[in-house]
A and B are shown apart, each in its own frame.
Chain A
């Protein structure tokens, strides 16, 4: 299978701190790719670099061959790269439905004039946005919560809503930053099922996760970051046995 995402020699410095050093990895079309590593390893920073929230100090990121470096975040979303946030960033005072509808922004067109005149096209598009958002809420298991304010949802539901919102942008690659953190085992299983379904729908997933069991069961391949460097990559079972990985985790904390 072809590579969908290619990360080449990415380096990110914050003043004196080197958060990422020469990280390269590639995610194939249609796989679930895990990114693991101890706290502070640089996983979230890599997401921020790929999605245009941080400028790279060096290196390249490509999605389906298109260079993402230097693009504005909204362009990167347009190119088909959607993400969620580790410290959930929903629009807390908008309803769940509205949150997902915002996700449709990038795939819809109606602007000022259409909105003011409420042209038939504008109305049709608005209805389509709403239908799609409702369907996505269903898809992630938030049926019946459409009118709840995002800030009032339970923790697990907020994580689900972030996924629905990201899906609304019609990504080719969905990057999830610790999507099951803080969930109980049942919820985790439901989420794992959801990821499998998304993959079956043709989506490629990039997953940061601390839950090793989940990662091992779900991912086709994994990469391990430690102190900003990639120390291992490959099939989960092999990576788990890698002495460098074991050392990294034992040196940091027991995971």
Chain B
């Protein structure tokens, strides 16, 4: 088996999930300059809700086709996450919009802790298994394996990104979002309802996060109340890598980070003469994050943010 091709495929799949989560960070940051720390947790809630629905459906009607069951789970998880994000923005972030920078960040950490612990109370400390109901086909490409699930994940990610792209570029809401990201004051003067746009941004990001949450739990075959944390951090690293605030950047950064991680995990053993092994996979995201911030803080596609004096 060709390790390089295989790791590239794995990285691409994982990266397309990172990209989806990164979009949520980047959109909110673009408008509010807030690191929505709780976004990873929203992703986790999406996975949990979907799994609950899937479990219920399987209990009631075990003969339903697997793809349809998962899809139904997703259809419930999306609005659930949207409502959650709407509430979070309204209750926790909006009152602090004019507060000093640290305050909303601390609140975001608080929200993140709350969501994680509520999830732990509701779904327990155990791993929740993703039932094996999805098609399990496997194909050979250039000497590497690719599964049905991987294909679905990549296809769905690309579709979602394309949808978001259309929304931002072609609709009134998208235009209002771009205007608000440029300047809240000017957008307000031009008749944009800034509060609505901000809410919409959170809600859209959450919908995408729900999709990502279901994907990631299907991919690893499990979900856990703690899964959103690391996923969120990595997605944020991806957003920074691409240039935070930049939607295309988040997509690119996500894919790149996925590939870097997969290649890193595949080759770290060889590179360090066996000193470090593949369980160091998770450190790559952070090294990438630190390197990007040091050498190109604006990210790959970001504009240089002038320090206004």
Contacts and interface: CB of A to CB of B under 8 A. Distances in A.
The answer on direct contact between A and B (beta carbons under 8 Å) is yes
Interface of A: 14, 48, 53-54
Contacts, number: 5
Interface string B271-309: 000000000000000000000000000000000001101
Nearest to B309: A53
B309 A48 contact: yes
Interface of B: 306-307, 309
5 contacts: A14-B306, A48-B309, A53-B307, A53-B309, A54-B309
A86 B309 CA distance: 10
Nearest to B304: A15
Contacts of A53: 307, 309
A54 B306 CA distance: 9
Contacts of A14: 306
Nearest to A48: B309
A53 B306 CA distance: 10
Contacts of B306: 14
A166 to B, nearest CB: 15
Nearest to B303: A15
The majority secondary structure among interface residues of chain B is loop
Nearest to A14: B306
B183 to A, nearest CB: 16
Contacts of A48: 309
A164 to B, nearest CB: 21
Contacts of B307: 53
Contacts of A54: 309
A209 to B, nearest CB: 19
A143 B307 CA distance: 35
Nearest to A53: B309
A49 to B, nearest CB: 10
B157 to A, nearest CB: 33
Nearest to A47: B309
Contacts of B309: 48, 53-54
Which 5 A/B pairs are nearest by Cβ-Cβ distance?
A53-B309, A48-B309, A54-B309, A14-B306, A53-B307
B77 to A, nearest CB: 42
A14 B305 CA distance: 11
B111 to A, nearest CB: 27
B124 to A, nearest CB: 46
A215 to B, nearest CB: 24
Nearest to A54: B309
Nearest to B307: A53
Nearest to A51: B309
A54 B308 CA distance: 9
B98 to A, nearest CB: 15
A70 to B, nearest CB: 16
B244 to A, nearest CB: 19
A48 B309 CA distance: 7
B86 to A, nearest CB: 34
Nearest to A44: B309
B187 to A, nearest CB: 21
A252 to B, nearest CB: 22
A83 to B, nearest CB: 10
A87 to B, nearest CB: 10
Nearest to A49: B309
A212 B19 CA distance: 57
A13 to B, nearest CB: 11
B27 to A, nearest CB: 24
A179 B169 CA distance: 45
A182 B309 CA distance: 20
A53 B309 CA distance: 7
Nearest to A85: B309
Nearest to A73: B309
A73 to B, nearest CB: 9
A48 B306 CA distance: 13
A162 to B, nearest CB: 14
A126 B306 CA distance: 36
A14 B308 CA distance: 11
A53 B308 CA distance: 9
A14 B307 CA distance: 12
A92 to B, nearest CB: 11
B224 to A, nearest CB: 43
Nearest to B306: A14
A55 B307 CA distance: 11
A173 to B, nearest CB: 18
B94 to A, nearest CB: 24
B297 to A, nearest CB: 15
A14 B309 CA distance: 13
B302 to A, nearest CB: 14
B20 to A, nearest CB: 32
A54 B307 CA distance: 8
A33 to B, nearest CB: 21
